[in-house]
Chains A and B, each alone.
Chain A
Amino acid sequence: MNCIEFAEKLHLTPLCEKDGEIEIEGVYIGDLLSIVMSKAKKNYAWITIQTHINIVAVAELLELACIIVVENMEVDDDTLLKAKELKIPVFKTSESAYQMACRIYELGIK
């Protein structure tokens, strides 16, 4: 499933979806960037409450499929600018990381 289909099915709000064709191969949930850097893998969707520009650097480094910001956190402008420049899709939702995880599981991504 690519990022655009994934976002549509989960009713995510797109903040930046420059490269929505990437196939999602897994999901990682975490807010501590150093741990995310060691655990998440290429083409994973990353669920977090972090909104700082550093999340784009982590996504770029790991070649993540997209970033999903949960709990309706306000994403910093410079984060979105950099995400657009690097074509990293960023989505937002009011749901919690747990609710997201449950719905993603129901989509068949395990």
Chain B
Amino acid sequence: MKEISMHILDITMNSIKADATLVEIKIEDSIKNNWLKITVTDNGRGMSEEVIERVTNPFFTTRTTRKVGLGLPMLKEACERCGGYLKIESELGKGTKVFCCFERDNIDRAPLGNVGETIMTIINSGNNVELIYIHKTDEGEFVFDTKEVKKILEGMDINDMNVLLWIKEYINENIKNLVNNQ
């Protein structure tokens, strides 16, 4: 995928399909340590050991509409190409954690992409999902939590297009400030 945010969207959609009600997306972007780490944690159905072992195989999928599943295999390949790795931890009935990292300055690493738009898309597609987004750099961190936003909205629908567009801009602006301070 041409941007890492597309992988984040793909993983989070897996969480939503697994009936997660809470998803935490954490990005750790460190120039000092030369890494870009992404962790997506959910409280969905979880996976058995057997399924965990098979999800990075492109010829394994839980879908019935097609015979290949390329989301996690493509992410794994992208990480490994950039000196990183992908790790999945999961427990049935408790949830799943997908962790991946990239060498930050690797020339083949895709850009992070439009995270604000990704978060907006996730909120818009998963009605009952609460989302926590944490963006951490060497200089500080930014946290976005849909529960907090809903409190501020005082009953207004978070899926209202104007709210979603504000969320997108708010997230992108905060990430930009964090990155510019590095």
Bin the interface of chain B by size. 10 to 19
Q: Is the interface of B mostly helix, strand, loop or mixed?
A: loop
Q: Are A57 and B1 in contact (CB under 8 A)?
A: no
* Residues on B with beta carbons closer than 8 Å to the beta carbon of A33: 1, 70, 74
Binding site for A on B (CB under 8 A): 1-2, 6, 57-59, 66-68, 70, 73-74, 77
Q: Indicate if the CB atoms of B73 and A54 lie closer than 8 Å.
A: yes
10 tightest CB-CB pairs across the interface, nearest first? A57-B58, A57-B68, A34-B1, A61-B68, A52-B77, A54-B58, A54-B73, A54-B77, A33-B74, A57-B70
Within 56-96 of A, Cβ neighbours of B (below 8 Å) are at: 56-58, 60-61, 82
In the complex, the chain A residue whose C-beta lies closest to that of B10 is A34
Q: Would you give the shortest CB distance from A24 to chain B, in whole angstroms?
A: 22
A56 to B, closest residue via Cβ? B58
Residues of chain B within 8 A (CB-CB) of A56 are 58
Separation of A56 and B58 alpha carbons in the complex (Å):
9
B148 to chain A, nearest CB (A): 33
Which residues of A are in contact with B by a Cβ distance under 8 Å? 32-35, 37, 52-54, 56-58, 60-61, 82
Q: Which DSSP category, helix, strand, loop or mixed, fits chain A's interface?
A: helix
* Neighbour of A32 across the interface among B1, B66, B68, B70, CB < 8 A: B1
Residue of B nearest to A60 (CB): B68
Closest chain A residue, CB of each to CB of B80: A52
Instruction: Evaluate contact between A34 and B58: CB separation under 8 angstroms.
Output: no
Q: Name the contact of A54 in the complex, choosing from B66, B67, B70 (C-beta under 8 A).
A: B70
Of B2, B6, B59, the residue contacting A57 (CB under 8 A) is B59
- 12 example contacts (A-B, Cβ-Cβ < 8 A) are as follows A33-B1, A37-B70, A52-B77, A54-B74, A57-B59, A57-B68, A58-B68, A60-B67, A60-B68, A61-B67, A61-B70, A82-B59
Q: How far is the CA of A53 from the CA of B57 in the complex (A)?
A: 9
A-chain residues with CB within 8 Å of residue B59 when the two chains form the complex: 57, 60, 82
Q: Which residue of chain A lies nearest to B110 when distances are taken between CB atoms in the complex?
A: A32
B contact residues around A82 at 8 Å (CB): 59
Q: In whole angstroms, how far apart are the Cα atoms of A60 and B113 in the complex?
A: 29
A77 to B59, CA, bound (A): 16
Closest A residue by C-beta to B61: A57
Residues of A contacting B66 in the complex (Cβ-Cβ under 8 angstroms): 61
